[in-house]
Amino acid sequence: MKLLILNGPNINMLGKRERAIYGESSYEDLCEYIRVNGQNLSINVDILQSNIEGELVTYIQDAYDKYDGIIINPAAYTHYSIAIYDALKAVDIPTVEVHISNIYAREEYRRKSVVAPACIGQISGFGIYSYVMGMMALINKAK
């Protein structure tokens, strides 16, 4: 199984920004954690991050016919990116939306995801373990 892991804006600032919400792990720690857990689950992972919506859309489009699944943390784009939603619908690759924090326990505007309806599911609030849960969900979906 080959998965694309996409991270949106400010995820590259993990370990520096709002540690009480996002934890102490750096972005590099997150990537290593994903790689190790992917390896343990016999999954090949490619990890990309961008602060630019159009780049994320291009990454999704480029995933067509190359990946068995996508795990996306759209970050702030979760709440308003119809472009990301449309890209996910266009490629029709099983996708899991993940969030490090529990978006439903935060500000009201963070509780709505316009991306989630293009996904097979959403995982929120389990820290960086949310990514592992996403991998396991995609393995289960492929069975």
Distances (CA, A) of 57 to 13, 44, 62, 106: 21, 21, 9, 26
| Secondary structure letter of residue 13 according to DSSP | G
Name the residue type at position 30. Answer: L
- Please give the distance of CA 61 from its chain centroid, rounded to a whole number: 15
Is residue 22 among the annotated active site residues? yes
Q: Which of 17, 130, 138, 143 is nearest to 73 (CA)?
A: 130
Six-digit token string for 95: 């996708």
| Closest to 142 measured CA to CA, from 95, 108, 98, 75 | 95
User: Catalytic annotation on 64?
Assistant: no
Separation CA 86–CA 90 (nearest Å) = 6
Q: Which residue is catalytic, options 22, 59, 67, 131?
A: 22
Catalytic residue among 59, 67, 99, 131: 99
Catalogue the active-site residues.
22, 99
